[in-house]
Amino acid sequence: MANIDAWTAAAAKEVKGKDLTWHTPEGIAVKPLYTEADAQDPGLPGFAPFTRGVRASMYAGRPWTIRQYAGFSTAEESNAFYRRNLAAGQKGLSVAFDLATHRGYDSDHPRVVGDVGKAGVAIDSVEDMKILFDGIPLDQMSVSMTMNGAVIPILAFFIVAGEEQGVAQAQLDGTIQNDILKEFMVRNTYIYPPEPSMRIVSDIIAYTSANMPKFNSISISGYHMHEAGATAVQELAFTIADGKEYAQRAMASGLDIDAFAGRLSFFFGIGMNFFMEVAKLRAARTLWHRVMDGLGAKDERSKMLRTHCQTSGVSLQEQDPYNNVIRTTIEAMAATLGGTQSLHTNALDEAIALPTDFSARIARNTQIVLAEESGITKVVDPLGGSYYVEALTSELVDRAWAIIQEIDALGGMTKAVATGMPKRVIEEAAAARQARVDKAEDVIVGVNKYKLANEEHLDTLEVDNAKVREGQIARIKAVKASRDAAACTAALADLSAGARGGENVLALAVDAARARATLGEISDALESAFGRYATTPTPVTGIYGKAYANDARYALVVDGVDAISRRLGRKPRLLVAKMGQDGHDRGANVIASAFTDMGFETISGPLFQTPEETLALALEKDVDAIGASSLAAGHKTLIPELLRLLREAGRSDIKVFAGGVIPPQDYEFLRNAGVVGIYGPGTNVVECAGDVLRLLGHNMPPLEIEGKAA
């Protein structure tokens, strides 16, 4: 019988001595072969440390919940969409709210003109929430709500909508995300500063523990870290550390750990490194058991990590988009073989727009086919015992645990977030990933390899933002006109006073919701006590430039920047602008980071700017170009308004570029408005920089060295 030495010799001969070790972004050296010597015994499913699953029978007993994330436009349209999906096989609801709602603004607020109804459903009052779930019995349906910033009014509206359906709080089943720490790291849909935000988390845990035993009070999310560029190790470590912080805060408020820990849930993103993602979910369960054991939990249910997963949005591509069906299928398989409790599968067109009914059906059916046709539900943890998977799981546990210990040494996750460490290392990972993609070291089919000569445009869903906003404003006026104004004012005053004191703010917000206070009014009442938090991005530097050392195309761009600098007597100035209420800033930060490394003077504008504020900053800094980043469908409203303001100011010489999630059919509209360059998902950043230089008057020479293009 052959031994490992014999195999090593045979393999070396076949590949002529080539090193087959794969060095992953996590810093893991993946060997080409794993044996029994590499694997540890993971135990059994349903038993500590739950590496192989939180239930003994797992999917053999009950498959995962098919829970599609959706919401758009109005409550009426979202309700109709939900009902169609439920009739077609979906088992749970996951609500996407628009960005105005996330940020605590009513639809009539001047800051959200371009955001209402665009990337989720607009919810301004209990009346909207009642319409959202009309005909959907809340005592029979599990509802997940992705909400963090305006979590208090949204959960209050949900509770009151249930009451007015005749459903008691104790019967409500589902999850509220309520994970504010990751907002300060990556997603940025925060409202209040960190400490009062953590107070809100604790109040929700306390209220739901006492009144809503079937409801998960928090969904601790690694997904948004994953989408922002975190490696699997970073996503694991920061997510588990977040969970530990929330548990400690709840315990500090007087709650017994076993009274609430069983209702904590998690949410992970699933990317394209198939076995790494399987191992990540197994490692997460192992780590959470270790953390909860260390915090003194006695009930084994407190130590079980239950998770929802979503296939990656950032792995979806605008180019050759039907490949996205394949990507989503691979990621869905990784999630299910990793042992998720519920799953959302992204639609093929979500790289450029909200999903259509057609694309949503394919995404949903991907799960149904896996559950009903593939046979993977027949065996509990079918990859358990794989030498490779077990070795990866152990490696991820060890590496993530080292970071968790580092965070503990800083005083916990809240203090770690305050230092900026988690945000910085995730942005470094994102910049490094972009460089590898641009150099085709990480292959993306249809983007940097096997490109189509001609791309076909997909039919995409478009929301009439102005129409939705008009309808929402009319409903707000109707609610305010029909309510008892004195009772509402009193309830809001009680909420503000309770926020300044030590009362449970969710309990007080439920009273305000019953009195028909709007989302913006409840948010403002809390803001009067807590203040509103704001920050300006500080992108990392040096990562992109280091990755491109000795690259010919990159060198030409750097030379071009130098030439323009000599002509201007200063570096060319680029303002990276984030207008509207979308806090996702991965793309904007990658651009700012890369362009800085190339020699531009890059100014990162504050998040959530209006076009007027962007104009003022552009004039103050005397910029040559503005790169407007759009990820939430506000590009047809906000960017033309910025261009109009530039013309009025006599500064049409400032070039405006657009980047992010922009459907190709909108390109002509934006060009006609005055946009000089549009760069969607999959754009090579070095080539983008070359375009910017040409538009600033530099004649970029062709690259003469074959095979050296970025």
The residues that are catalytic are 69, 223-224, 578, 582, 584
The CB density around residue 65, as the number of other CB atoms within 10 Å, is 18
Q: What helix, strand, coil percent values describe the chain, rounded to 5?
A: 50, 10, 40
Alpha-carbon radius of gyration of the chain: 25
**How far is the C-alpha of 267 from the C-alpha of 178, rounded, in Å?**
12
**How far is the C-alpha of 553 from the C-alpha of 559, rounded, in Å?**
10
Residues 6+ positions from 116 with CB-CB distance below 8 Å: 98, 100, 107, 122, 465, 468, 469, 472
Structure tokens at 643: 């261009």
Coil/strand/helix, residue 70: strand
**How far is the C-alpha of 196 from the C-alpha of 206, rounded, in Å?**
15
Smallest Cα–Cα separation from 148: which of 94, 187, 206?
187
Residue type at position 492: L
**How far is the C-alpha of 319 from the C-alpha of 341, rounded, in Å?**
32
Q: Is 293 exposed, middle or buried (0-12, 13-18, 19+ CB in 10 A)?
A: middle
* Start-end of H helices in 374-504: 387-410, 413-419, 421-438, 465-482, 485-500
**How far is the C-alpha of 708 from the C-alpha of 686, rounded, in Å?**
12
Coil/strand/helix, residue 121: strand
**How far is the C-alpha of 459 from the C-alpha of 25, rounded, in Å?**
35
Which residue reads 């990866």 in tokens? 392
Structure tokens at 336: 């299910």
Q: Is 50 exposed, middle or buried (0-12, 13-18, 19+ CB in 10 A)?
A: buried
Residue type at position 317: Q
Element at 65 (helix H, strand E): strand 65-70
Contact predicate 608/542, CB 8 Å:
no
Cα dihedral value 668, 672, 676, 677, nearest 10: -20
Cα 162–Cα 268–Cα 382 angle in degrees, nearest 5: 110
Query: Rounded to the nearest 5°, which phi and psi values hold at 644?
Result: -60, -45
Element at 602 (helix H, strand E): strand 601-604
Residue type at position 90: Q
Please report the sign of the dihedral spanned by the C-alpha atoms of residue 536, residue 541, residue 547, residue 552. positive
**How far is the C-alpha of 642 from the C-alpha of 651, rounded, in Å?**
11
Residues 6+ positions from 534 with CB-CB distance below 8 Å: 606, 607, 608
The CB density around residue 239, as the number of other CB atoms within 10 Å, is 33
Cis amide prior to 537 (ω within 30 degrees): no
Query: Rounded to the nearest 5°, which phi and psi values hold at 176?
Result: -110, 135
Query: Rounded to the nearest 5°, which phi and psi values hold at 619?
Result: -70, -40
Q: Is 266 exposed, middle or buried (0-12, 13-18, 19+ CB in 10 A)?
A: buried
Contact predicate 302/209, CB 8 Å:
no
Smallest Cα–Cα separation from 128: which of 516, 581, 526?
516
